[in-house]
A and B are shown apart, each in its own frame.
Chain A
Amino acid sequence: MGRYVARRLLQMIPVFLGTTLLIFLMVHSLPGDPVLAMFGDKGADPATIAAKRHELGLDKPEWQQYLLYMRDMLLHADFGTQIRNGLPVTEVLGDAFPITLQLAALAFAIELIFGIGLGIIGGLRAGRMADNMILVFTLLIISIPVFVLGFIIKMVFAFNLGWIKPNVSPVPAWDELIAPAIVLGGLSLAYVARLTRTSMAENLRADYMRTAVAKGLPRRRVIGVHLMRNSMIPVITFLGTDIGALMGGAIVTESIFNIKGVGGVIAESISRREGATLVGLVTILVIVYLVTSLLIDLLYAVLDPRIRYA
């Protein structure tokens, strides 16, 4: 197992380098010049533009820019500075990540608790009334686009009932984040519920279940340990990848509720050709993905001891 972990960690290095290089090249191949755009419609003289370009290191060839960038990032944990406002990218990310982390954690908790909860109810009562209702409910959530769901929630709870503020404050309190977290976690919640339900309904008919019941184990133990553990593998896989998605995505949710998180920074950095910011963001997201997927893989063995690592 130690060797397996070490190998996985080593694998991260080429993935990390590859993704950063790809993003770097992609940003640079987008049409449009970030320095030119700083001056907008009214333009600036060539000398000023050249001076600005030099100041930002954009007059060097691309491969040199990439190497310099990687050197600073790896050796000094320096992600560069934003082209327009000259702020260190680490500061920009440091502002955005905690908020998104907060939102993602809440959304994750909601999807975990309600998703698995509904899934268990549905799975144990497969084919019956409760199960059908859960199927209809999840279908409804899956089919409503995020922005519609966000709009409905705002409409009902903020404008009609007045229970919540329509938008989240700049430094959000936990209770303000509940509504956006529901919107953000809603879609995954439906998937989690359906995955759990199906996997449980299937495993209910498995041989080991019959054995466990035949042994005379209490129902609580049969379901809680024997059934749940085996049924959780696909769910955990999904949840693992979802953490990354929750952290990185949420562009729509964040803009609906005016949350100053990672989603907005990504959108803005693309439109402003902020290569350094984008690469920094993506690097961190890649690490989040890599680490969670490693953790998930290790969790498999906890859930199903038959799985071995070579």
Chain B
Amino acid sequence: MRGAKSAKWVTGAIIVALAATACGGGKDDNAGGAGAVDPNGIFTTDLGEPEKLLYTGDTMESNGAGVMKAVYSNLVGYKADGSLEMLNAESLTTTDSKKWTVKLKAGWTFHDGTPVTSKSYVDAWNWNASLKNAMGLSSWFSDIVGYDKVHPDAEGAKQTAETLAGLKVVDDTTFTIELTQPVPYFGHKLAYTPFAPLAASFYANPKAAAEKPVGNGPYKFKSWDHKKQIEIVRFDAYKGPNKAKNGGVIFKNYTTLETAYEDLKSGNLDVIRQIGPKDLPVYHDDLGDRAVDADHAAIQSIGVAFYAEQWKKPKKVDVRVIQGLSMAIDRATITKTVLQGTREPATGWVPKGILGYQENAAGDVTKYDPAKAKDLIKAGGGVPGNKIFIQFNADGGHKEWVDAVCNSITQATSVACVGDSKTDFQADLTARKEKQVKSLYRSAWSLDYPVNSNFIKDLFHTNAAGNQGDFSVKELDAKIEAADSAASLEQSVKQYQAVEKELVKYMPSIPLWYYKVNAGYSEKVSGVTYGQDGDPILDTVEVKK
């Protein structure tokens, strides 16, 4: 009976395997009728696994940021038009854009019950700025006096101070910030995550705190089941203007946009952040008035690698060549067909929803005009080698539009154009960093703060981190610096508007299109809106009973 014995073995093994993994799952049933709002209702939204632990100074990708915005409340926030709104700050004042005084609203507490004081801010900023902690967003503190001591930039340098000299605690609800030079839009920067306050418990064990952040925002962090879900619940003692109208949010993790959309359709998910390409043609039919089409303040453009031999030798490329290439791109058709209406043709370098957005800032350069494109390229001496490459990462779904842009350019101007595909985003970044881009590269920028300087200075100033194509024009740098030291925010925005109009003369990049939010929500929720950053605004969502 040896055969019988072996059969027993096999079934035995299966039973062991089954028992070992029988961890059973809880299923959530969402029963209830329509109509009345349940103020304690919890809804679900999709989110990828945050790439890193949730440090305020290191969370720069959208998955982590989505959670952080709900858990922390900064001094200020901003409204849909890009103007400021006071959150934790009672007031934010400056006379010269250089020395800023912050007054906090009294009585605010962290989720663990400890009070939010000026020290909570100053300590947090010092910690985030310190080179020792290697936070990815530390450069955000570089405007503040003493940053170069706390965080020297050069490789191998040692920090010589622990705290930023420009930060001074006056009393429990007042502190001052001194900047090395005037930054009229510094207030807007303060809305970004690295400027959030940290509770005293953070410093005892930063890593544990980054697993389970204790914030001061409208939502309390409840649990993080890695790669599965994150749960946050309403913080009842929250005193800010953006108090949550729901009981909490569960961020569910999805591997693809398509699976998230399927769950939305079948009622297992309430709010979705983005519709996948496959479902774009049908989502309006599927969701009816629950389908969302909103502006998203981000831009896709084609960066010019000015260091490339093609543009440098024998002489520097004539700007008319790049203008011509820009005019050879049929943005309207490509956004409608290849991109299925998920983008909107760009007419400048600053997208909508940003303070200082101006319609048609780039003038004619973004209009499709094959005849003029050909003339411009010819007048500029032609494209060296009559062939261009557009570098992109193959893992980001960019191939289709790069091909379309190339076709458009070739048809209009008979300049050969090839997509230069890098296997993934990492390889693409490395090639850009090491200056190996052959002629042009895909470049995208989404807002850090909704002021036009963010789309101009951070991309086109000679020393900007986002300037990866070695674009450098002295007069433009001077104008940017002048706009930066303007007396007031309004003045600065105006000066930047002038700079944007002038970019046409240099064409540091070819603007392609602005992003859009294509999303939707379930029948269970209402009041779903999306911010400039493309993420759903959580606190206004109402859950039906």
Q: Which residues of A contact B (CB under 8 A)?
A: 30-34, 36-52, 55, 84-87, 91-92, 95-96, 98-99, 101-102, 105, 108-109, 112, 154, 158-159, 162, 165-167, 169-174, 176, 224-225, 228-229, 254-258, 260, 264-265, 271-273, 299, 302-303, 305
Cα A42 to Cα B432 in complex, Å, equals 12
Given the known A-B contacts A37-B426, A43-B465, A86-B207, are A167 and B226 also in contact in the complex, defined by CB atoms under 8 Å?
no
Query: Distance in Å from the Cβ of A100 to the closest Cβ of chain B?
Result: 9
Instruction: Give 9 A-B pairs besides A42-B465, A167-B262 with Cβ atoms closer than 8 angstroms.
Output: A30-B423, A32-B425, A32-B429, A41-B445, A47-B153, A48-B151, A170-B252, A258-B255, A265-B227
> Looking at the complex, which of B23-31, B104-112, B179-187, B194-202 is the stretch in contact with chain A?
B23-31
Cα A120 to Cα B443 in complex, Å, equals 60
Cβ contacts under 8 Å, A109 to chain B: 14
- Contact: A102 with B21, CB < 8 Å? yes
Given the known A-B contacts A228-B3, A264-B255, are A173 and B14 also in contact in the complex, defined by CB atoms under 8 Å?
no
- Contact: B50 with A31, CB < 8 Å? no
Cα A167 to Cα B2 in complex, Å, equals 43
- Contact: B262 with A273, CB < 8 Å? no
Q: Which residues of B contact A (CB under 8 A)?
A: 2-3, 5-6, 9-10, 14, 17-18, 20-27, 50-53, 60-61, 131-132, 134-136, 138-139, 151-157, 207, 225-229, 252-256, 259-260, 262-263, 265-266, 268, 395, 422-427, 429-431, 433, 443-445, 448, 458, 465-466, 468
A to B CB contacts below 8 Å, 14 in the list: A32-B429, A32-B430, A34-B426, A37-B429, A40-B61, A84-B51, A101-B17, A159-B262, A159-B265, A165-B266, A169-B27, A170-B228, A224-B3, A264-B255
- Contact: B132 with A51, CB < 8 Å? yes
Query: Distance in Å from the Cβ of A2 to the closest Cβ of chain B?
Result: 19
Please give me the residue from chain A that is nearest to B5 by CB atom: A302
- Contact: A260 with B228, CB < 8 Å? yes
| Contact pick for B426, options A32, A108, A112, A264, CB 8 Å | A32
| Contact pick for B25, options A44, A55, A101, A176, CB 8 Å | A176
- Contact: B427 with A32, CB < 8 Å? yes
Cβ contacts under 8 Å, B226 to chain A: 87, 91-92, 95
| Contact pick for B131, options A48, A171, A256, CB 8 Å | A48
Given the known A-B contacts A173-B27, A258-B255, are A101 and B228 also in contact in the complex, defined by CB atoms under 8 Å?
no
Please give me the residue from chain B that is nearest to A44 by CB atom: B136
Cβ contacts under 8 Å, A84 to chain B: 51-52
- Contact: A86 with B52, CB < 8 Å? yes
Cα A39 to Cα B468 in complex, Å, equals 14
Given the known A-B contacts A44-B136, A228-B3, are A51 and B53 also in contact in the complex, defined by CB atoms under 8 Å?
no
- Contact: A173 with B255, CB < 8 Å? no
Query: Distance in Å from the Cβ of B88 to the closest Cβ of chain A?
Result: 25
Cβ contacts under 8 Å, B256 to chain A: 255, 258
Cα A45 to Cα B155 in complex, Å, equals 8
Cβ contacts under 8 Å, B458 to chain A: 42
Please give me the residue from chain A that is nearest to B395 by CB atom: A271
- Contact: A41 with B444, CB < 8 Å? yes
Cα A255 to Cα B24 in complex, Å, equals 20
Cα A254 to Cα B157 in complex, Å, equals 46
Given the known A-B contacts A40-B429, A50-B155, A258-B256, are A299 and B6 also in contact in the complex, defined by CB atoms under 8 Å?
yes
| Contact pick for A86, options B10, B53, B155, B427, CB 8 Å | B53
